[in-house]
Amino acid sequence: MNPTLTRLTGWFAPVRPDSRIAILRTVLYLFVILDIHAFVRDPIPLSRQPELYSPLLLARLFHLPPPSVPLTVTLYVVLIVASLVGAANRAPRVAGLTVAAAFTWWTAIGMSYGKVDHDHLAFVVALWTLPTAGVIAGRWRATSASAQSGWVLKCIQISVIATYFLSGITKIRSGDWSFTSWPNSAILLWAIVRRPHGLGQFLMPFPGLLRVMQWFAFLAELASVVVLWLRGRALLVAAVFWLGFHVFTVTILYIHFAPTRVRARRRERAGGGAAGHPVPVAGDQPVDRSG
């Protein structure tokens, strides 16, 4: 085999312990159950408001029917049952593909009523690739290793990094493809004004510092692809850095991967907007000029 092709294959499909996939299946399939209760948890109540449904491109491409209560309840039951089977490492292909398809549809419904949460990219990719590993003898205690397991882990790693890198590209796109438009703006100050929580409110008198922080975050996202080639301690340092990045974001803006729709429901009960939809805030302007 051509040496270059061998190296390329080894990078995309390195030999990794099969037990990692078995453990990852258990963790992620159980997380699916958590996700549909704590994060993307609105499809059933939102399906009662068909007039607000604006299908994502995915739903349009596959001609998915508009959500209804019977449909979303069925998806919910399928996700619970298939996730429990998958978490036990039973019927990995059937249970895994069922979870992947049902969760993708569930997520598409939940995100067809407002903004699309980019944090679910890697999760969806993981659910679609895990079934390809097939049956693992010994499951969590497997002593074997395979390139198939390595390929699954590499796909997940690439999708995680893509979440950061594409976020940086989106910032450039939203500024009419200007490299400096987003980091030189007052977007972080604007976000803090909208969400006056935590450390962020103490940073409001320092717009220059906030702009430096914007540049740091923006450049870090664009440079995130380097992580794909890191190994050992350097890879661990990169993982800790991104964990710290999210902790810092929570501290400043109180933004994290938890749902923000609860607040919208409270506003609805108080006379605000519809559940699951952003309620206008005085002075709000769209970040993306396309609206």
Query: What are 39-75's pLDDT values in tens digits?
Result: 999 999 999 999 999 999 999 999 999 999 999 999 9
Please state the rounded mean pLDDT for residues 191-196.
83
196 domain-assigned: no
Residue 10 within any structural domain of the chain: no
Do residues 185 and 214 lie in contact, with contact meaning Cβ atoms separated by under 8 Å? yes
> What residues contact residue 137 under an 8 Å CB cut-off, 6+ apart?
18, 144
The whole domain housing 130 covers 16-162
Residue 125 lies in a domain: yes
DSSP classification of residue 16: E
Sign of the torsion formed by the C-alpha atoms of 88, 89, 91 and 92: positive
- pLDDT recorded at residue 255: 60
> Which H, E and C letters describe 121-151, residue by residue?
HHHHHHHHHHHHHCCCCCHHHCCCEEHHHHH
End-to-end CA distance of the chain: 51
* Overall domain count for the chain: 1
Flag whether 112 is in a domain.
yes
pLDDT digits (tens, 9 = 90+) for 240-281: 999 999 888 888 876 643 333 434 444 444 444 433 344 333
On whether residue 245 sits in a domain, the answer given is no
Cα–Cα dist 285/267, whole Å:
20
Report if residue 174 sits inside a domain: no
Average pLDDT, rounded, for the chain = 86
How far is residue 201 CA from its own chain's centroid? 27
Per DSSP, 65 falls in state P
Assigned domain for 100 exists: yes
Please give the distance of CA 51 from its chain centroid, rounded to a whole number: 26
Asked, for residue 33, whether it belongs to a domain, the answer is yes
